[in-house]
Homo-oligomer: A and B are copies of this chain.
Amino acid sequence: MKQPPQVSISRLALYLRFLEDYLLEHGPNSTIKSTQLARFLNINPHQIRKDLSYFGKFGERGIGYRVEELKNKISQILGLDRNWRLCLCGMGNLGSALFAYRGFKQMRLSILAVFDSDHKKIGKVMKGVRIYSVESIPEVVRKLKIDIAVITAPSAAAQSIADKLARSGIKAILNFAPVKLNVPQRLKLRNVDLSTEFNYLTYFLSAQVQQ
C-alpha cells in the first residue's frame, strides 16, 4: 500500500464525521455519490476519491458509496473500532481542561493515568484516575499498557517527560507544549500549539493594522 499523505488521513476523519451524521438522518441503507459528499464537505470530488484510493476500492459506478459500509471501513482504518489508553502528563490548566473534556469518550479514548511533578497533587485520585509522579512514567505507562501520552506540561519540562515516555516504550505522543521535542524515530509525535495558532492570527491582524 502506498503511504497515504497526512492530509488524506485528516480528511478521512472529516468524512467519517459527516457519514455518521448522514447515516442517522438517512438510515442504514443510504448511499451517497462522491459529488454529493464533495458538495456537502466543500471539497473537490476527485480529492475524495483519491483519499479513499489509498485504502482500497470504495463505491460503485452509478450508485456511489454505501454510507454504512464506508463509515465502518473508515472507522477501522483510523483505528476507531477499538479503545485506546491515554495518559496525561502535566495537570496544570490545560491538563485539567483536557481531563474534563468529554469529547475523548466519543473517540473511545480513556485517560488511565495522570502524571505531575507537584507533590501536592501526586497520589490524588480524580474520577478514578490516579496522579503519579513524573518519575514513575516509564513504570506506570508500561504497567497500564498506555497507548498514547498527552503532554500538557510547561515547555521547560516537556523534553524530560518525552525522554521518560520514550523509555517506557510508548508509541505515540500528542504534545501541547510549544517546543520541538526530540524523540526516537519509532515514536509517532504530533504537536498542537494553541499559542502558535493565536500568534498566527495576531500576526495577520497586526500586519493589517500596519498596512
Contact = CB atoms under 8 A, between A and B. Distances in A.
A192 B75 CA distance: 21
Nearest to A10: B196
B78 A178 contact: no
Contact of A199 (B80, B192, B203): B80
A197 interface: yes
B93 A103 contact: yes
B172 A205 contact: yes
Interface string A161-178: 000000000011010001
A9 interface: yes
A39 to B, nearest CB: 12
A159 B10 CA distance: 19
A151 B46 CA distance: 29
A150 to B, nearest CB: 9
21 contacts: A9-B200, A10-B196, A10-B199, A14-B196, A17-B178, A17-B179, A17-B195, A21-B155, A76-B206, A79-B199, A79-B202, A79-B203, A79-B207, A80-B199, A82-B206, A84-B198, A84-B205, A93-B102, A103-B194, A171-B204, A188-B205
Interface of A: 6, 9-10, 12-14, 17, 21, 41-43, 76-80, 82, 84, 93-94, 96-98, 100-103, 106-107, 109, 147-148, 155-156, 171-172, 174, 178-180, 182, 188, 190, 192-209
Given A17-B155, A80-B202, 9 more contacts: A6-B200, A17-B178, A21-B155, A42-B182, A76-B206, A77-B203, A79-B209, A172-B205, A188-B204
